[in-house]
Amino acid sequence: MGKLFQLGISFLKHSKMLTFSAFFSIFIACFLGVGLFQLSSNIDSSIRAAVMEEMQQYEDSELYASVLEEELAGYQGMHYFFMILYGLIIGISSLFILSIFHELLKKYIREMAIIRTFGGTTGQVNLIFLFLSVVISFAACLAAGIVAVSMDTFLLNYLNQKYEFFRGRMAIDWWMFFGMIFLTFLILNVFLMIFFAFSQYGLPVEIFHRTETGLRRRKDGLRFLNLRKIMGKNGYLAWKLLLPKWKQGLFIILLIICMTAFSYVGDSFMKLLSMNTYAYYEDLLKGADGHCELMPDMEDSMIAAEEVALIRERCKKKQVECGYIHGVYEGQMGNAWGFYTTDLSYFKRHYIKETYQNISSVPVGQQIVVGKILAEQEGYHLGERIRLKSDYLKEEKEYTLVGIFDWSPYSIQKEYQILVDQTNYRDSQEEENNGNGNSVSLYFYGDCDAIQNIFITLKQEGWSFTGYISEKIWKNTEKQLGQMNILSKIVIWGLMLVIATGWLNSVRGMLISGKRDYHVLRLLGAEQRCVQKICNLQIKIYLLAGIVFGTILGFALAKELWEKELYYGLRLDMHLGSTLGILLLFWLFSLLLRKTVREVSK
Amino acid sequence: MKEILRLENIHKVYTTGKYALEALKGVSLSLHEGEVMVVMGGSGSGKSTLLHIIGAMTEATEGGIYLDGKKEERYGLEPDATRIRAENIGFIFQSFQLITDFTVGENVSLPLILAGESRKSILKKTEEMLRLVKIEEKENSPVLELSGGQQQRVAIARALIHEPKILLADEPTGNLDSQTAEDIMRLFLEVREKRGQSVIIVTHDPWIASYADRIIFLRDGRITGKYENSSQTRDVNEVMRRFRESQAGKRRRV
């Protein structure tokens, strides 16, 4: 057994590049995994503490209990999110680590065949490679653990300062720490063990006599000579030499395509989330400092106009201006989705730039304002007489268009696109309302603390609503989007490092396997510079094939998945930021191949 | 006959650390147009080194090399070595050295693609060469599908397509059976007849050497004998006798 292990060690010594690549890939996977779960653990304890604190401001214990339960349930999703991220890291890293060990296996396949010729079993051969994988993964996980202990505290505290993941400073969760290192070590070696068990194929004699290419008759091999005019002589030869070997690199290219597409889709998702979230809140707030929507106690009851007036008065005392939209729900009747009233004086002040020049001649009760989108759709213009039909009105009534507003570019619904003055509103106590209920949307303009106090008072009075304060919303939104963004970027770029390492080894293997062909070119009169250019072009083809197809696939997927989720007026354009970043990373890695290119082109 | 290559007092020393090995010790020879020359010697005699120097694959430590009467100062040094190989030398190897992923046509046309010739010229010359070596029906076949003899024909066609002055063959029949070997040697002679090609063959096989116009015997890096075959017949026994004579000093030492 000792001799077998000695043989394994000598393989490691003679395959420094492969050994380092495997070590580096495992290191990254383990380091990322440990870091992610340390972050998750700190976020978890921080959130519990914060939620407990915040809920104490509510005196109602029932309310407190239900909100606490809701908040904590929401954060369960975060745990699943981290587990999915870890699963991705381990899954994708394993594939690349397998590819690196596959290269190692290919390199020593003749040696293994010789061992088997002299009585060695496949089990003994498996043991050698398993030993290699245990040694490399143990060293890598240990190194990742040591680096994580020293760097995670610094890194996570730095990230926390920028993105406020958790309160206070980071504390290492030692159970999680050692658990993740052990789990990563175990998962990788189980994968490798399975891989080695299935990779011992063929008898030694088959390996000794194996030819590199299959015998196949091809059509005229010289029919593409004219491609030299486009690709140049070097490009043509690079492509010709690479083409028969496409199967060798297919696995890596497919993984690069998948990762590039995944990165693009992930990026698009973050953009969508960001655009939609901002659009949603802009649509919700409509330029106000705060907003809430009050619902009546029963679905078919009405909120009285006096109640709204009282709320507005209370706000005025706190130096907060309160605008509102008081609406009645309707079915698809007439030319309005619902019947909405507002204090037109406040509304015109905030949302309308240009009013009808003869507005003073139009009684307030006959004034109507219409949204820009609806005005364009129906061809309305200022001063026009509009007949409004509504169940609530019971009859058609004529209004004069005195203003066109554009307070929400994101909504195309007819809801909130037609507004008349509050004098048109009648309470349910006085009129039948045909079973329709209503709601009141309140828009607050003033100090955020004052608005928060108004929300607390309204809740204490028994109103049920979700209050939105713009300052807090934008701050929280930025924080949450920033957190998601940075986490996803860390994971994607960590994986990209692993993939780039796997790609590097695959390309190096391809160059070395083509050494003989490059040597023939040199003998036939090709300059070393020319052969180096051919090698470099092959490297570029190998790289660009994955990235270009990955970007196209990512773009197609993003359009398919996300475009219909976008708010009106938003577009998911092609963005090449992540693609260029991936290209730069791989280009930097390709610089490590210069020595190999020089060697094979001698 | 016109002299196309002359080597004067060629020395080649390989140094590894503190050890120096002198592979060639003052070798001088000349090659004329249309001549078939064989360099014969035992293992370690320096024949491969001589071939590498003539083929501009390595530089001589000392001595002069003349190509078409003109001295080439940087014969084995880049970038001149590449230019010399591209313009003047055609190689044929024992193991054929074909690109196994290419077809016959693609292998043969490779020197012309490297030289940047037009498509029309490449197709025309490739067809001509394949016809010359009698393998035109295999143009689109992968080379691994061919027999050893056929592969060597492909190698010869590739070596000749850019019209080199000198064809260098390193044990060209080493991997072939005797009948195929004879076919290949006849092909060399045919090429010499039709194109006036000069050929240098390195071998340790006296039967192959008997096809030559002139044989140079090497032992321990020196020329120890020469044999000019002025007759039309092949005298293998005479070649063997001369070879034994040239190696005689070595045997006495043993």
To the nearest whole Å, the CA of A250 is away from the closest chain B CA by 17
Quick check: B128 contacting A, CB < 8 Å? no
In SS3 terms, A480-536 reads as HHHHHHHHHHHHHHHHHHHHHHHHHHHHHHHHHHCHHHHHHHHHCCCCHHHHHHHHH
Tell me whether strands B214-219 and A321-329 are parallel, antiparallel or unpaired: unpaired
The answer to whether B56 and B89 are in contact (CB under 8 A) is yes
Question: Taking every pair of C-alpha atoms in chain B, what is the biggest distance, in angstroms?
Answer: 60
Place of tokens 């070649």: B239
Q: Tell me the H-state helices in A246-285.
A: 246-285
Same domain, A119 and A101: yes
Query: Among partner residues A221, A519, A526, which is closest to B105 by beta-carbon distance?
Result: A221
SS3 content of chain B, % helix, strand, coil (to 5): 40, 30, 30
List the CATH code of the domain at B3-253. 3.40.50.300
Amino acid letter, residue A577? G
Task: Tell me the pLDDT tens digit for each residue of A98-116.
Answer: 877 877 777 777 777 777 7
Q: Which residues contact B158 (CB under 8 A, 6 or more apart)?
A: A524, B90, B98, B107, B108, B110, B111, B129
The answer to whether A321 and A311 are in contact (CB under 8 A) is no
* B253 — pLDDT class (breaks 50, 70, 90): very low
Residue B168 has a pLDDT of 92
In this predicted structure, the answer to whether residue B254 has a pLDDT above a threshold of 50 is no
What is the ipTM score, two decimals? Answer: 0.80
A483: in domain: yes
Q: What total number of domains does chain A contain?
A: 3
A288: in domain: no
Q: In angstroms, rounded to a whole number, what is the distance separating the alpha carbons of residues A175 and A170?
A: 15
> Is A520 in contact with B122 (Cβ distance < 8 A)?
no
Q: In angstroms, rounded to a whole number, what is the distance separating the alpha carbons of residues A121 and B88?
A: 53
Per the structure, the complete domain to which residue A422 belongs is given by 296-464
Compare A242 and B233 and report the one with higher pLDDT.
A242
In this predicted structure, the answer to whether residue A212 has a pLDDT above a threshold of 80 is no
> Which of A398, A431, A464 is the C-terminal boundary of a domain?
A464
Which tokens sit at A155? 């890194």
* A323 — pLDDT class (breaks 50, 70, 90): confident
> Is A527 in contact with B79 (Cβ distance < 8 A)?
yes
Quick check: B58 contacting A, CB < 8 Å? no
Same domain, A22 and A140: yes
In this predicted structure, the answer to whether residue A500 has a pLDDT above a threshold of 90 is no
Residue B131 has a pLDDT of 92
Quick check: A209 contacting B, CB < 8 Å? no
Most A CBs within 10 A among B52, B89, B102, B168, hence the mutation to make, goes to B102
Q: In angstroms, rounded to a whole number, what is the distance separating the alpha carbons of residues A437 and A107?
A: 77
Q: How many CB pairs under 8 A join A and B?
A: 96
Residue A435 has a pLDDT of 47
In whole numbers, what is the pLDDT of chain A averaged over residues?
80
Query: Among partner residues B105, B113, B139, which is closest to A233 by beta-carbon distance?
Result: B113
Place of tokens 């497919």: A254
Sign of the four-CA dihedral A288, A294, A300, A303: negative
> Is B110 in contact with A226 (Cβ distance < 8 A)?
no
> Is A217 in contact with B115 (Cβ distance < 8 A)?
no
To the nearest whole Å, the CA of B186 is away from the closest chain A CA by 24
Residue B66 has a pLDDT of 92
Tell me whether strands A438-445 and A290-294 are parallel, antiparallel or unpaired: antiparallel
Please give the average per-residue pLDDT across A294-314, as a whole number: 78
Same domain, A410 and A483: no
* Chain A hits for B114, Cβ within 8 Å: 233, 237, 521, 524-526, 530
* A215 — pLDDT class (breaks 50, 70, 90): very low
Q: Is the peptide bond before B79 cis (omega within 30 degrees of 0)?
A: yes
Query: Among partner residues B109, B114, B142, which is closest to A521 by beta-carbon distance?
Result: B114
* A332 — pLDDT class (breaks 50, 70, 90): very low
Same domain, A425 and A524: no
* B2 — pLDDT class (breaks 50, 70, 90): confident
Quick check: B98 contacting A, CB < 8 Å? yes
Amino acid letter, residue B23? A
* A173 — pLDDT class (breaks 50, 70, 90): confident
Quick check: B254 contacting A, CB < 8 Å? no
Residue A87 has a pLDDT of 84
> Which of A211, A243, A266 is the C-terminal boundary of a domain?
A211
Q: In angstroms, rounded to a whole number, what is the distance separating the alpha carbons of residues A163 and A406?
A: 34
> Is A522 in contact with B110 (Cβ distance < 8 A)?
no
A218-227, A590-599, B192-201: lowest mean pLDDT where?
Answer: A218-227
Residue A54 has a pLDDT of 66
A56-60, A270-274, A363-367, B194-198: lowest mean pLDDT where?
Answer: A56-60
In this predicted structure, the answer to whether residue A90 has a pLDDT above a threshold of 90 is no
Same domain, A200 and A150: yes
Residue B7 has a pLDDT of 93
Residue A235 has a pLDDT of 86
To the nearest whole Å, the CA of A487 is away from the closest chain B CA by 46
Task: Tell me the pLDDT tens digit for each residue of B120-164.
Answer: 999 999 999 999 898 989 998 988 889 989 999 999 999 999 888
A112-121, A189-198, B17-26, B230-239: lowest mean pLDDT where?
Answer: A112-121
C-alpha distances in angstroms, A221 versus A218, A224, A241, B102, B140? 7, 7, 12, 8, 6
* Chain B hits for A528, Cβ within 8 Å: 78, 82
Residue of B nearest to A218 (CA): B140
Residue of B nearest to A225 (CA): B119
Task: Tell me the pLDDT tens digit for each residue of B212-232.
Answer: 999 999 999 999 888 888 766
Domain boundaries, chain B: 3-253
* Chain B hits for A526, Cβ within 8 Å: 82, 86, 114
* Chain B hits for A220, Cβ within 8 Å: 105, 139-140
Residue A66 has a pLDDT of 61
Residue B204 has a pLDDT of 84
In this predicted structure, the answer to whether residue A354 has a pLDDT above a threshold of 60 is yes
Residue A333 has a pLDDT of 43
Please give the average per-residue pLDDT across A74-85, as a whole number: 71
Which strands sit side by side in the sheet containing B70-71, from one edge to the other?
A: B19-32, B3-16, B62-67, B70-71
Please give the average per-residue pLDDT across A163-177, as a whole number: 79
To the nearest whole Å, the CA of A529 is away from the closest chain B CA by 10
The answer to whether B50 and B128 are in contact (CB under 8 A) is no
Quick check: A223 contacting B, CB < 8 Å? no
* Chain B hits for A233, Cβ within 8 Å: 113-114, 116
* Chain B hits for A211, Cβ within 8 Å: 100, 144
In this predicted structure, the answer to whether residue B198 has a pLDDT above a threshold of 60 is yes
* A201 — pLDDT class (breaks 50, 70, 90): low
DSSP string, B48-117: HHHHHHHTTSS--SEEEEEETTEE-TTTTSTTHHHHHHHHHEEEEETT----TTSBHHHHHHHHHHHHT-
Query: Among partner residues A226, A228, A525, which is closest to B86 by beta-carbon distance?
Result: A525
A82-96, A311-325, A532-546: lowest mean pLDDT where?
Answer: A82-96
Please give the average per-residue pLDDT across A562-587, as a whole number: 81
Residue B154 has a pLDDT of 93
In this predicted structure, the answer to whether residue A374 has a pLDDT above a threshold of 90 is no
> Is A211 in contact with B141 (Cβ distance < 8 A)?
no
Compare A597 and A70 and report the one with higher pLDDT.
A597
A218: in domain: no
Task: Tell me the pLDDT tens digit for each residue of A26-65.
Answer: 898 888 888 888 888 887 777 777 667 766 665 656 656 6
Residue B155 has a pLDDT of 92
A597: in domain: yes
> Is A217 in contact with B109 (Cβ distance < 8 A)?
no
Compare B107 and B253 and report the one with higher pLDDT.
B107
Most B CBs within 10 A among A223, A245, A524, hence the mutation to make, goes to A524
Q: In angstroms, rounded to a whole number, what is the distance separating the alpha carbons of residues B185 and A84?
A: 69
In this predicted structure, the answer to whether residue A409 has a pLDDT above a threshold of 60 is yes
The answer to whether A507 and A103 are in contact (CB under 8 A) is no
Residue A393 has a pLDDT of 65
Question: Taking every pair of C-alpha atoms in chain A, what is the biggest distance, in angstroms?
Answer: 109
